[in-house]
Amino acid sequence: MNAIAHMDWSYWMTRVDLVAAWLVALVWLIHLVQAAVGMRELGDLGHAEFDNTPDPAPKVSIVVPARNEAHTIEPALRSLRNLEYPSYEIIAVNDRSTDETGPVMRRIAKESGGAAVQVLDISELPDGWLGKTHAMWRGAQQGTGDWILFTDADVVFRPDSVRRAMAYAVKTEADHVVLFPTMVTLSAGERMMLATFQALIGFGHRPWKVADPDSRDYVGVGAFNLVRRPVYEKLGTYAAMKLAVVDDMELGRRVKQHRFRQRVVFGRDLVRIHWATGALGIVHNLSKNFFAYVRFSVALAFGAVLGLLLLNVLPFAGLLLASGWTSAGCAVAVLCIFAAYLGMSPKSGIPPGYIVTHPISSILLAYGIVLSTFSTLRRGGVLWRGTVYPLDELRGALD
């Protein structure tokens, strides 16, 4: 009887493994086809058709919030001063910094040559605000441009970046333009993590669908969120997003929610950013805001971890340990993942050979999600630049 029971158990476990392997393969096949077709529809600012200046050129207010960013703010502001665009202003917001951020801003503002830099100092944070959203709100208030470009203090711009973006925005009659930055990587660990991020693009939000007003997909990128001022004001400005931890995506969500024209574009080397140092640095950055990204839902966080492991670790494990048709299903899934690496490599410059580290980086990403969830729950809020924002208030601000 025990032998029969064991045989039945083994039989059904084998069948479960077989079905799971081919379901994972099917998910990757569908994702790969959608991404392969969809990504081709995205604009690329590097094309010659966008190598011009709109006439007339709408004025752009570039808002750069910074808190204790003395080590990155100088190259960021210098790159903005050297933009080729004829009509723009730079508003550097010093948000309660305790390092040399403010003095560096003021020194660059006093220098001659290039576009002028306006420095806005913030000494206190009002109740009910996150520091960054408040800084961007204040910066946008001070600006006078027809368009507002929200960026970060560690982003370096190529001289023709804004000119090309505005040529695209005017030509396509866009209301919100999101430019994917070029991620600077200084180590194998950083390339490993970013390659996995790129392979997974589209699982959460499909960039190729954001232009469809009937889809729920939206995108926002902190390095380059370019929005028409009238649209920004109709959204309620950042005053309506006071406690948005993932502020860039929240801006994108509201643009799409109000059915304004949102566009996502590529542009290799137009804007560059070194996101974090090392693989664990990227995990740490993920742990700061992923729980907020899933709107503080434990169920969604758990689902993200489970999905990461099933879709990205199981195929590699099955390829090594399984046999027969189960192994074949895992092989199909791994081939699809490799195709995703191969397709994104020209955009990122990361060799597709990093596919061999994919299960390791996927486990690290899952760890980052778990860390984000449990640290936020344990602390009872989000820790951001030295300030703890209570979880009850953050959840209460969601709509």
372 lies in the same domain as 307: yes
Q: What is the extent of the structural domain holding 28?
A: 1-41+189-203+276-399
| Domain CATH number, residue 132 | 3.90.550.10
47 lies in the same domain as 122: yes
pLDDT digits (tens, 9 = 90+) for 86-117: 999 999 999 999 999 999 999 999 987 778 89
Q: Determine, yes or no, domain membership for 372.
A: yes
> Where is pLDDT greater, at 164 or 38?
164
89 lies in the same domain as 144: yes
Q: Mean pLDDT throughout 336-361?
A: 91
Region of 169 on the Ramachandran plot (φ > 0 left; ψ -120 to 50 alpha; else beta): alpha
* pLDDT band with cut points at 50, 70 and 90 for residue 14: low
Of the candidates 175, 169, 147, the residue with the CA atom closest to the CA atom of residue 52: 169
pLDDT digits (tens, 9 = 90+) for 143-155: 999 999 999 999 9
Q: Determine, yes or no, domain membership for 216.
A: no
52 lies in the same domain as 100: yes
The rounded percent of the chain whose pLDDT value lies above 90 is 72
Domains contained in the chain, number:
2
Q: Determine, yes or no, domain membership for 128.
A: yes
| Stated pTM of the model | 0.91
> Where is pLDDT greater, at 177 or 204?
177
Average pLDDT, the chain: 91
Q: Mean pLDDT throughout 75-85?
A: 96
Q: Report how far residue 344's alpha carbon sits from residue 352's, in angstroms, rounded to the nearest whole number.
A: 8
* pLDDT band with cut points at 50, 70 and 90 for residue 40: confident
> Where is pLDDT greater, at 172 or 346?
172
* pLDDT band with cut points at 50, 70 and 90 for residue 13: very low
291 lies in the same domain as 377: yes
160 lies in the same domain as 36: no
336 lies in the same domain as 310: yes
pLDDT at residue 173 in the model: 95
Of 117-121, 345-349, 366-370, where does mean pLDDT reach its minimum? 345-349
> Where is pLDDT greater, at 203 or 341?
341
SS3 77: helix
Q: Mean pLDDT throughout 386-397?
A: 85
Of the candidates 176, 284, 183, 299, the residue with the CA atom closest to the CA atom of residue 231: 176
Q: How many CB atoms lie within 10 A of CB 51?
A: 12
pLDDT at residue 10 in the model: 54
pLDDT higher than threshold 50 for residue 6: no
88 lies in the same domain as 236: yes
89 lies in the same domain as 234: yes
Are the beta carbons of 174 and 168 closer than 8 angstroms? Answer: yes
DSSP letters, 344-382, are: HHHHH---GGGGGGHHHHHHHHHHHHHHHHHHHHHHTEE
Q: Mean pLDDT throughout 244-256?
A: 95
pLDDT at residue 378 in the model: 92
Q: Mean pLDDT throughout 111-138?
A: 91
pLDDT at residue 4 in the model: 46
Q: Determine, yes or no, domain membership for 212.
A: no
The rounded percent of the chain whose pLDDT value lies above 70 is 96
Q: Determine, yes or no, domain membership for 98.
A: yes
